[in-house]
Amino acid sequence: MLPPPQSLRERVRLTLGYLRALPRVFQLVKDSSRGFAAGIVALLVGQAMIPAAMAWVGKLIVDAVVQAARTGSRADERRVVEYVLVEFGLMVVSTVLSRGQALLRDLMRASLGNHVNTLILEKAATLELRHFEDADTYDKMQNARREASVRPLSLVLELASLCQQLLILATYAALLARLSWWSTLVIVAASLPAFFAEARFSGESFRLNSWRAPEGRRQNYLEWILTRDSHVKEVKIFGLAPLVLGRYRALFDKFYAEDRRLALRKSAAGLVLGALSLLAFYASYLFMADRAAQARITLGDLTLYLVAFRQGQAAIQSALASIGSLYEDGLFVSNLFSYLDIPTAGESPRTRPSTAAKGRSQLIEFREVAFRYPGSDREALHGVNLRIEPGEKLALVGDNGAGKSTLIKLLLRLYDPTQGSIVYGGVDLRDFDPRDLRDRIGVLFQDYVKYQFTALENVGLGEVHAISDRPRIDAAVDRAGARTVVDELPQKLDTMLGGWFEEGHELSGGQWQKVALARAFMRDRAELLVLDEPTASLDAEAEHDLFLRLKALAADRSAILISHRFSTVRTADRIAVLQGGRIAELGSHESLLAKDGRYAHLFRLQASGYLDGRPA
């Protein structure tokens, strides 16, 4: 994250950039709540006419009361009653308009807020894996989600409020002109310093929150550690709470100190500038009171002046505050558009999408493939050449960080190679439609997801269009050996899994893995199966049973297996040994043992841990 801008030129440049987001905000309103916005504007215009009308009627009431008291005329007394009834009618109209405006504001808040949040989630769905592995993207996402979902509404309402206050000010200015034309200028002059101060502090508040995003994410992570079921065991056992709380408090104290300094400066400026505004008001009030005492204006005129000046001053201050809020909202809304404008064209086909024949295994070729993760100066893969024949069962082995998972990410086109190419059925992966490619592959990742959904949905997600197809889901459960897991659940497939929601049923690690396997096996028509450590949480008996099922399932299709268990690996047709991002060895289990290289060393090292079939 770059440091905040320091020069005036840089601040002006950024501010102009933020204000250019206004047309896009109006488009958001048009797309989500056009009718509500039009209704609010109409009610605001109507409401803007009420204050000046009431001030004028108030003047007429005071003058009528003075006249009736002097003459005792019944006609003058009736006139007082009539004016009071007129004011009562204006109050009723004002109340109705205000309630209608509040109703439309609430409806618009719900409509626009949901629309913007949906846009944020839709954008997240289009982001590539590289974006989720990039800290800057996470900062943009956090800034967008924190306030941008409510700021567009605030910006629109503040703009409407600004127009309303300007209309009110115009009507008051017309009333004041007959008494003292320069009063409006006094009101504006006394209010401008407060506006400039507010705009400055709004900018500082925005920069403070935006450039705080990385530390804010760290604070959220510390909170996550102390509140999630996945962490509580280690927190308890290792006594981590004091350490994590200490770091959390340190960040909190830092944020509080920054906020406190800004609040104190803002309060001090407000006090000084408020006193200036108050002084201008009472100086003008004294002048007009002296004119009334000299009978140069009526008591009703003085009352009108007092109301119009005070309310006019409030209107101009509200208008300037709305301008300041528009500025601040524009700054925050820029975070939303900065996030929505993240380029995501990397997964699109380079040219017109090509495709390979469907329904059978395809030849897969890695041709001089090299790859470097964004922001890294080290290649995770380099010079990889590998052919996976149709129907072949290939195992990938190697140390952690050797490049096994990276190879799978490239095959699934979660990344594109930085050099070389990957060809599937004669077509370069970069010429595939990503959805078409991924629909051909059944995958179980090592870090599979434990969805807090029902068991039925957990399995059905492997083929989303069949998420309610019970016969197909039952078949996938059987193929994965997860039938006993499902049968032990209180409501079988309709049981909510996990502990996050009401009536959730938590599973063991091995049970979760069988459910995840069933999800991968939902793709019973997949041309390729990719299994990354599919037996990591299974016992020996369950592992043996699984591989009998795997052989039957993958009999007519290709499969790639990543595993550290050599009892599993040895059943593959060929084994590729990755070391330092390269394929160091390639061959069958027997040929690699005979070669007496890296694979033989790792196999014997693992085998030495067993005596008579029992762990040493």
Q: What are phi and psi of 48, to 5 degrees?
A: -70, -25
**pLDDT computed for residue 4 by the predictor:** 47
**pLDDT computed for residue 39 by the predictor:** 84
**How large is the average pLDDT for residues 533-543?**
67
> Which of 11-15, 148-152, 334-338 comes out lowest in average pLDDT?
11-15
Whether 422 and 367 have beta carbons less than 8 Å apart is answered as yes
**pLDDT computed for residue 309 by the predictor:** 67
The answer to whether position 254 is within a domain reads yes
Mean pLDDT of the chain: 78
Q: Which of 205, 225, 213 is nearest to 251 (CA)?
A: 213
> Which of 56-70, 187-201, 234-248 comes out lowest in average pLDDT?
187-201
Percent of the chain predicted with pLDDT > 90: 8
Residue with more model confidence, 193 or 380 = 380
CA 537 – CA 561 distance, rounded (Å) = 15
Indicate left, alpha or beta for 187 from its phi (over 0: left) and psi (-120 to 50: alpha): alpha
CA 530 – CA 544 distance, rounded (Å) = 18
**How large is the average pLDDT for residues 288-312?**
71
Whether 358 and 439 have beta carbons less than 8 Å apart is answered as no
- Checking if the pLDDT of 473 tops 90, the result is yes
113-135 core/surface letters (b: 16 or more CB in 10 A; e: else): bebbeebbeebbeebbebbeebe
Token pair in block for residue 359: 């329904």
Indicate the pTM of the whole model: 0.64
Q: What are the pLDDT digits (tens) for 344-375?
A: 765 565 555 556 656 567 889 999 999 998 87
CB atoms closer than 10 angstroms to residue 137: 17
**pLDDT computed for residue 615 by the predictor:** 45
> Which of 82-91, 460-469, 500-509 comes out lowest in average pLDDT?
500-509
- Checking if the pLDDT of 228 tops 60, the result is yes
The answer to whether position 353 is within a domain reads no
CA 561 – CA 397 distance, rounded (Å) = 9
**How large is the average pLDDT for residues 327-334?**
72
- Checking if the pLDDT of 293 tops 70, the result is yes
The answer to whether position 186 is within a domain reads yes
- Checking if the pLDDT of 456 tops 90, the result is yes
Whether 9 and 59 have beta carbons less than 8 Å apart is answered as no
- Residue 6 pLDDT level (bands cut at 50, 70, 90): very low
How far CA 201 is from CA of 264, 486, 497, 508, 602, in Å, comes to 11, 59, 48, 53, 63
The answer to whether position 131 is within a domain reads yes
Residue with more model confidence, 403 or 185 = 403
How far CA 7 is from CA of 13, 208, 423, 472, in Å, comes to 10, 16, 52, 64
Q: Domain with 24 in it: what CATH number?
A: 1.20.1560.10
Token pair in block for residue 188: 């504006």
Length, in residues, of the chain? 616
**pLDDT computed for residue 3 by the predictor:** 47
Whether 301 and 292 have beta carbons less than 8 Å apart is answered as yes
CA 609 – CA 616 distance, rounded (Å) = 5
In this structure, the strands spanning 393-398 and 558-562 are parallel
**pLDDT computed for residue 30 by the predictor:** 78
**pLDDT computed for residue 567 by the predictor:** 74
Residue 398 DSSP one-character state: E
> Which of 9-13, 255-259, 460-464, 542-546 comes out lowest in average pLDDT?
9-13
Range of the domain at 321: 17-343
**pLDDT computed for residue 386 by the predictor:** 92
Q: What are phi and psi of 432, to 5 degrees?
A: -85, 150
Token pair in block for residue 253: 């104290």
- Residue 443 pLDDT level (bands cut at 50, 70, 90): confident
Range picked from 113-122, 290-299, 309-318 for highest mean pLDDT: 113-122
CA 408 – CA 528 distance, rounded (Å) = 12
Q: Which of 94, 48, 56, 45 is nearest to 308 (CA)?
A: 56
Residue with more model confidence, 468 or 281 = 468
Whether 384 and 370 have beta carbons less than 8 Å apart is answered as yes
The answer to whether position 301 is within a domain reads yes
- Residue 300 pLDDT level (bands cut at 50, 70, 90): confident
Q: Where are the beta strands (DSSP E) in 112-211?
A: none
- Residue 203 pLDDT level (bands cut at 50, 70, 90): low
**Domain total for the chain?**
1
Q: Where are the beta strands (DSSP E) in 362-440?
A: 364-372, 379-388, 393-398, 419-424, 427-428
**How large is the average pLDDT for residues 270-296?**
70
DSSP states along 208-248: HHHTTHHHHHHHHHHHHHHH-TTTHHHHHHHT-HHHHHHHH
CA 576 – CA 395 distance, rounded (Å) = 6
Cα 177 to chain centroid, rounded: 51
The answer to whether position 77 is within a domain reads yes
Residue with more model confidence, 606 or 417 = 417
- Checking if the pLDDT of 220 tops 80, the result is no
The answer to whether position 534 is within a domain reads no
- Residue 5 pLDDT level (bands cut at 50, 70, 90): very low
Indicate left, alpha or beta for 609 from its phi (over 0: left) and psi (-120 to 50: alpha): alpha
- Checking if the pLDDT of 534 tops 90, the result is no
**pLDDT computed for residue 323 by the predictor:** 67
Percent of the chain predicted with pLDDT > 70: 75
The answer to whether position 576 is within a domain reads no
- Checking if the pLDDT of 453 tops 80, the result is yes
Range picked from 48-52, 390-394, 534-538, 539-543 for highest mean pLDDT: 390-394
